[in-house]
Amino acid sequence: MVKQRTKKILKEKNIEMFAAWADRPAGSLDPKAARNHKSLTIKMNEYEFYRLKAACESADRGVLNFVRQAMKAAVEKELD
């Protein structure tokens, strides 16, 4: 038996919400949003990774957290 498909009718509220989101200024991004937008792969040699691990242990942080915080500090310094 063939399944009957129905078209979803867009509600005015949904259209207005989409338009408001699309027109938002670029500076209104949420700094605490989920981290699923982009990912990076950083290739490094054994020495660089050893130094990174030593710094992480010294700061009592994980590798990703350490790199993210260092990047955040560098960006703030550069943009301010």
Q: 20-61, pLDDT tens digit by residue?
A: 777 776 667 788 888 888 899 999 999 999 999 999 999 999
> Is-contact 69 61, C-beta < 8 A?
yes
Can you give the pLDDT at residue 46?
A: 97
Q: What tokens appear for 73 in the block?
A: 């500090």
Compute the Cα dihedral for 73, 74, 75, 79 and give only its sign: positive
Question: Could you tell me if 52 and 42 are in contact, meaning their C-beta atoms sit under 8 angstroms apart?
Answer: no
Query: Does the predicted TM-score (pTM) go above 0.85?
Result: no
Query: Domain-by-domain residue ranges, the chain?
Result: 38-80
Residue 9, SS3? coil
